[in-house]
Chains A and B, each alone.
Chain A
Amino acid sequence: MKKLFLSASLFLGSLAAFGAGYQLNMQGLRQLAMGGTGSAWVWDASTIFYNPGGLACLKNIQIYCNVIDIIPRTGYSNGVENQMSVKKTFTPINFYLGGPIRQGSPWAVGIGVYEPFGNGLQWNGDWVGRYIDQSTTLKVYFVQPTLSYRVGSVLSVGAGMVYALGSLDMNRALPVQDQNGNDGQAVLHGTGNGVGFNAGVHFKMSDGLQIGLTYRSQVSFDVNGGSAQFNVPFALRNYFPNTNFGTTIPLPQVATLGFAVRPGERLTFQFDLNYTGWNSLDTLRVNFGQQTTYLRNIAAPRKYKNVFTPRLGVNVKLSRAFSVMGGIAYDPTPVPDNYLSPDLPDANRVTLSCGFAFKPMPRLTILAAYEGMTTVKRTGIYEYAQFYGTYQSTASVPGIGVYYNF
């Protein structure tokens, strides 16, 4: 007769785990201002991210740092309830140090610390989708020591091993109500890591044409031993023990082909095409250290698709000390129609960006960039949770940075 009235499990469709489109394309400010292009032309030490093969093209050792604010907003409507996500600001910092091991050497070494993946979205705690997502935050930094070699006047190659580290936070309402009708609460927090690599080749065909080809491998970001805490009515405490959890978030592989054309001394055009392997995100699983009849492991289907992203940028050198940049990108969504979920309601994105570079003295450059992103309005359903709605997201991304050549 034990636990007679709780003989069956409550299926927590609610903890639907993490979503998609969590790739960030803002590792260098000049590149950010140019629509996210940067694999073909070597501007600065952020080439450690954009094309490790280009590092050997730098003339000096360079130290580079930038700070970016990401202020995303997402609106939701189901025709009855309208919601705006809570305003939050995320501040990735990117740092690069590298260059030729000595003046004129074909060998170059460097290290980059940058945030290629991250997302944060917080909804009002009592909104209609609270059992699927209240807030989800992912922050992943890559540390990438890099070696690059200039094979000749045309070709240079480079590669770096990537060590990923970061954190994942998820808050969800639980559909177990107390006597006053208040929901239970799940709070998941964990840190994780993973390994991969970033490799590239760079061709300097002429002074007017450069080509880049890069490949960033998939990184499996493993969260182990994260803490899973539950606030539930007294009678259910044994069924929701505070336990640990583990999950793996695939950070997809990205292949890029880029061209840079400089028709005149003052003008540079860049074109990049990214191919991102989102199909690695088939199902997201969250496994709990202790399962009960109420608390079960979660397997949320995502079924993302690979996408091609074209990017276009321009740099105009106005004077010896001052340049301005602009760019545009179109980033199609990897999320299929029946998997549009509120933890990252992705849609086809259009990005416009601009920025400037100012060189107050020969060795020092100050950068500023601004990106505005908007998705198209998208209506869909997350079938797994039977959650329907129309979403639109925008993001405002200002950033400043500085680099110094030794």
Chain B
Amino acid sequence: MKKASIIFGLSFLFAACRPNVTVTIPASSGNTDFSVYMSFGSSYAGGFSDNSLEVSGQVNSYPNLLFQQFQLVPGDAGGSKSYFVQPLLNSNNGYPYAKLVLGSFFNPCTMDSIMIPVNYPSFVMDPTDAIRYTWQNSNYNNGQINNMAVPGMRVADLPVAGYVLANPYAARFFLKNAPTNTPLDEIGYRVRNTHPSFVTVDIGLQDILGFALSGGVGDGTGYASPITGTTNVYQDSAITPYAVFQTQYDALVLQAINTPSPKGGGALFSIPDITAMPYFNVFPSNGLVITRQTLADSLNKYWKSYTPKVTINKDFQVGNNQYIVMDHNNNIRQSVPGELILMDAPFFDTSCATMSSFGAHVPIPNKYVLTTEELQEIRSATAIFNNYIYNESLKYHLAYVDVNKYLNNVGYSSVGTTGVVFNGITYNSNFISGGFYSLDGVHLTQRGYAQITNLTIQQVDSFYHATLPLINVNNYNGVLYY
């Protein structure tokens, strides 16, 4: 009887016992100090997405998400630590031009409707977006700006006086907008106002991107000359000269860590390989689909009798064929595998008659093509810049966040990558469906930036022996369908 009642008792004890698995991993800063965080960078750090800037992109920018995790570390909750000031816009319309949204394109030739990115149809620039940003909290109205990211800004732009005139994002919040001041001056001023204990530097993408977006028509040698009449202003379509990049990048890092705290630290971000982005991979260079042998015959005949001589490596045949392109020396030739076509190539702008011949009878102009030589220049510059950034991280004892490596892991399903899986979702680089890149094919979705946040947390945790928890990537927006 006694035994039985003991068992009865135990069983009811079980019933009362609801599962209790609350796990808390105390957040700690390890060997560094997250109390005042500042971010320096360009489009990625600014939360630029869908070819524009919106307030929701800024609120979910990876520096702001990082700050939210830094706040989990117990410590001084007062003062500037409580704020991560970003020069926020007011609207989600897009600034200064329309964001991209998914729309439908009816192709009159195939009578087929497809999904493509289109400019936000009801775009009106919110007039309040254009007003210069002022930090409203009078207690901290000391010029504190924590996210100094300026979409579009290059390392090459850092020493350019009067840069605000050229960049509407800089114009919104740079205080020192006199024509004699440079972005580096502005950054120095803000650093001395805010005294960051932790910094991230994520810049350099635009130093190569302009060249790639021009289809490689600019100077990609790494030894470009300044624009005539200036001493240090370089064409957007040129790759920033290697020497300029190195000098200015080093100057930026020195400004960023100008007011060190005893345990101060930071992280430097590598530059992603632009050629792996959807913008350059949506149209494969062998995308010329021929359905009839007669068309293949006519193309072969046309180009083989063309003067001057056109190089055709492989005769046209039914199926997929390499497009005919104009290369950077204005020679017409057949493209070779590996060469890239830009997403803004006007495949959809022409009538049915010319659509069938664009890239076939009509060469794709060089400004829409990255040829083998141009790709080599992009990849060389990326490697040289990243090697320099890595050495800077060693020199200043900062963490190195290899965004380039991560984006390559995300990869394309067509080349057999498994992508990056997070909480049941597989992300890859496939345009639209991959969920990682935004509709502009270069910048990321909020879920993509959330993954950059986690990558940074992992690197910072490991470098500084900190314990910051990861964020749930899937809490943010990916591609939004209509």
Contacts and interface: CB of A to CB of B under 8 A. Distances in A.
Interface of A: 1-14, 16, 73-82, 84, 128-132, 175-181, 232-236, 293-294, 314, 316, 318, 324-327, 352-354, 370-375, 377, 379, 384-387, 390-394, 396
B482 A235 contact: yes
A79 B7 contact: no
B104 A326 contact: no
A12 B414 CA distance: 16
Interface string B340-373: 0000000100000001000000000000000000
B294 interface: no
Nearest to B112: A2
Contacts, number: 193
A177 to B, nearest CB: 5
Given A372-B14, A374-B17, A178 B469 contact: no
13 contacts: A5-B115, A6-B433, A10-B434, A13-B425, A14-B425, A75-B18, A77-B22, A132-B424, A176-B481, A371-B11, A372-B13, A377-B21, A390-B23
A385 B423 contact: yes
B426 A372 contact: no
Contacts of B472: 80-81, 128
Contacts of B166: none
Nearest to A75: B19
Contacts of B7: 326-327, 352-354
Contacts of A80: 469-472
B441 to A, nearest CB: 10
A294 B423 CA distance: 18
Interface in B75-116: 102, 104, 107, 109-110, 112, 114-116
B21 A77 contact: yes
Contacts of A129: 423-424
A130 B420 CA distance: 18
A278 B20 CA distance: 28
B421 A353 contact: no
Nearest to B117: A5
Contacts of A16: 424
B474 A6 contact: no
A175 B19 contact: no
Given A13-B426, A175-B474, A5 B282 contact: yes
B227 interface: no
A131 B474 contact: yes
A78 B472 CA distance: 10
A119 to B, nearest CB: 16
A396 B104 CA distance: 53
B419 interface: yes
A2 B372 CA distance: 28
Contacts of B421: 13, 384-386
Nearest to B471: A80
Contacts of A132: 423-424
Contacts of A77: 21-23
Instruction: Give 3 nearest A-B pairs by CB, closest first.
Output: A372-B14, A326-B7, A75-B19
A87 B24 CA distance: 24
A392 B18 CA distance: 9
B481 A352 contact: no
A394 B477 contact: no
A181 B56 CA distance: 12
B433 A386 contact: no
Nearest to B11: A372
Nearest to B12: A372
